[in-house]
Homo-oligomer: A and B are copies of this chain.
Amino acid sequence: MNRPDPARPPARTARDGEVPGVGPSPAGTRPTRQRLSPDERRRQIFACAQRLFSERRYEDVSTTDIAAAAGVARGLVNHYFGNKRGLYLEVVRLNSTVPALAVATLPAGTLQERIDASVTWFLDTLQANGGTWLALGSGGMGRDADVERILVKAEDDSVERLMEAMGLDRGGAGQDQARALLRVYAQLARSGAREWLLRKSLGRGQVHALLAGTLMVVVREAVPAVGV
């Protein structure tokens, strides 16, 4: 027998996307199957999947669970998303939108000032975001080659903006090295923020000092390569 994992909550039967005005149908009358526009239905299923995947491991969320949560036949999930994995990757893709590592509008000023502005803005964004992005990096989500590709791409975008903010995007050669250094810094930033917001082992001031200090080291090292 397939012994149920003790950590796994009982399969949901209740609907999740229930239309507000429509209460549970009186016993006996079968709730007429409601037909939505593809877009709407897709979004609804997606929302349920997103919630479930954030609560449990990939392999512990069945398409049956998702369908039940959406109040829909299981086949419909496959109809819209192909297979479970496709749906999962779509969820990850959405959640991987990285809070930019740097301000969009570069403030003129000394390097030190620009760095401080960058860090401040990054921490502000994260604080507002409330840790949902941080959880992605190491939390309940499964990781594999495909997932990694998505995450790496999101990070690269973010690094690109940081390149601009630091004024490293105008040099000639050595840009790739600068990018690599910033990628490393991005990991530090993520993990520092995690200690601050999730583990609460560091104060904001400390994290700020750490990030700013490191970013200074990184840029100093990158500058000779870029030749600025």
Contact = CB atoms under 8 A, between A and B. Distances in A.
Interface of A: 57-59, 138-145, 148, 151, 176-177, 179-181, 183-185, 187-188, 190-192, 195, 199, 201-202, 206, 209-210, 213-214, 217-218, 221
A210 B202 contact: no
Contacts of A218: 210
Contacts of A57: 144-145
One complex includes copies of this chain to the number of: 2
A195 to B, nearest CB: 5
Contact of A184 (B142, B143, B191): B191
| Interface secondary structure of A, over-half rule | helix
A71 B144 CA distance: 27
Given A59-B58, A138-B143, A195 B214 contact: no
Contacts of A213: 214, 217, 221
Closest 7 CB pairs of A and B: A187-B191, A180-B201, A213-B217, A188-B188, A142-B142, A143-B143, A57-B144
